[in-house]
Structure 1
Amino acid sequence: MTRDGRSTDSRERILAAAAAMLAEDVTARLSVRAVAARAGVSTGSLRFHFPNQRALQDALLDRIYGHMFPDDPIRDRSVPARDRLVTCLRQVLAPAGVGDQAREAWTTAYQTYIASEPTDRVRAAYFALEQGGRRRLEYWLTVLAGEGALPGGDHTSRVRFLSTVLNGLSIERALPAEASILQSETETLYMAVDCVLNPR
């Protein structure tokens, strides 16, 4: 096998090991040492392919979501980044429904996570769901950062902000409304996306 072949093989083993660790525990912390050990490569080899933990996480997110959502609108460069991100955020809101369906979803969430002190199992389930949602948001921002549509680096505060906006909008869907939810929701999503893409 050529040197390049070995290099590609070890990169694939590293990504497969990291993906397996996340599949077993979505809250797993992907430390360089743990992933390298799982992949059967040296930490130096891992660092060669992924100079830091962030590079590894970005590559893994790209691999996971590229596989899970091959037609993800975030990748359609014929559409402006702003519109693509709003479309992706709508995908998060869509399953919650509107009106009775949204009320039912929030009633279940309230009874499960808020009404009484959550058990360790319930807490772990919630954190896993929350982390999965945040990873998807982070993936979308990473794709846009790769295109130069927003600054690269750590997206933690942007993800937290967008997650908060989505939570607020999903609650709003469950509440009585006088005006069109679609119109006000669209305006809010564009304002949020503009704040993320054009920080002052």
Structure 2
Amino acid sequence: MVEQEPGASSRDRILQAAMTMFGEDPGARLSVRAVAARAGVSTGSLRYHFPTQRALQDTVLAGIYDVITPGDRIHDRSAPARDRLIDCLRQVLALAGLGDQARAAWGEVFTAYIQPEPTEENRAAYLAIDREAQRRVEYWLTVLGNEGALPEGDNSRRARFLVTVLNGLSIARALPSEESILTTETETLQTAVDCVLNSRC
């Protein structure tokens, strides 16, 4: 069982247990039984707060992202929208690490989601991670749209494009390269953000 803060609600205990489990093993499936046991609550209590495994996973991933990347720059209007969006996307890439760290991270993704026979459980776990990345990027685009820095359009489609670019760049961080990763990454992010801000994609 996870060390709990005194007076923590059952919902808080569930989230703390799930975040701890995810921190120990990013490939963790966060099954209802395992999380409930770790939090010291009944499965009924967990289902009351999180009716589906997806709801639990989405909430946990949002919380982890908030802890890992606090205070993104998207609201800092003293900087151009292009620079702010690139900085936010760089925060996501920073989570992937470089070299050995990036290889280890992609090895975990391969082991958890690609190598094993697909199951509904590992599919749901991966899709929760993917939805959180999409949600974050859509949020940033919505902020820029509300400022008038982004033309009206389908932010969901734009976010999917940017997440795909981030996925490719994070894989590139794990692979050998003849060029400077920083240079190629910067050029790629600038091209992708310009495409989005000018509604060419």
Query: Which residue in 1 is equivalent to 2:129?
Result: 129
Query: Which residue in 2 is equivalent to 1:161?
Result: 161
Partners of 1:102 and 1:174 within 8 A in 2: yes
Query: Which residue in 1 is equivalent to 2:94?
Result: 94
| Alpha-carbon distance in 2 for matches of 1:81, 1:117 | 43
Give the gaps of 5 or more residues in structure 1: 1-22, 29-63
| Alpha-carbon distance in 1 for matches of 2:70, 2:111 | 35
- Cα 1:123–1:141 change in 2 (3 A) is same
Give the gaps of 5 or more residues in structure 2: 1-48, 56-62
TM-score when normalising by structure 1: 0.65
How many residue pairs align between the two structures? 142
Partners of 2:151 and 2:198 within 8 A in 1: no
| Alpha-carbon distance in 1 for matches of 2:87, 2:54 | 27
Partners of 2:151 and 2:199 within 8 A in 1: no
| Alpha-carbon distance in 2 for matches of 1:196, 1:99 | 29
SS at match of 1:179: coil
Instruction: Tell me which amino acid in the other structure corresponds to 1:158.
Output: R
Instruction: Tell me which amino acid in the other structure corresponds to 1:116.
Output: P
Query: Which residue in 2 is equivalent to 1:7?
Result: none
| Alpha-carbon distance in 1 for matches of 2:132, 2:53 | 7
**Pairing 1:61-100 to 2, within 5 Å after superposition:** 71-100=71-100
Partners of 2:74 and 2:88 within 8 A in 1: yes
Instruction: Tell me which amino acid in the other structure corresponds to 1:196.
Output: V
| Alpha-carbon distance in 2 for matches of 1:177, 1:147 | 38
Instruction: Tell me which amino acid in the other structure corresponds to 1:126.
Output: Y
Partners of 1:149 and 1:197 within 8 A in 2: yes
Partners of 2:98 and 2:173 within 8 A in 1: yes
Instruction: Tell me which amino acid in the other structure corresponds to 1:137.
Output: V
| Alpha-carbon distance in 2 for matches of 1:110, 1:199 | 34
TM-score when normalising by structure 2: 0.65
Residues 159-200 of structure 1, C-alpha deviations (whole Å, 9 max, x = no match): 110011000000000000112101110010000000000024
Query: Which residue in 2 is equivalent to 1:140?
Result: 140
What is the aligned-residue RMSD (CA, Å)? 2.2
SS at match of 2:127: helix
Partners of 1:113 and 1:122 within 8 A in 2: yes
Identity fraction in percent: 62
Query: Which residue in 2 is equivalent to 1:46?
Result: none
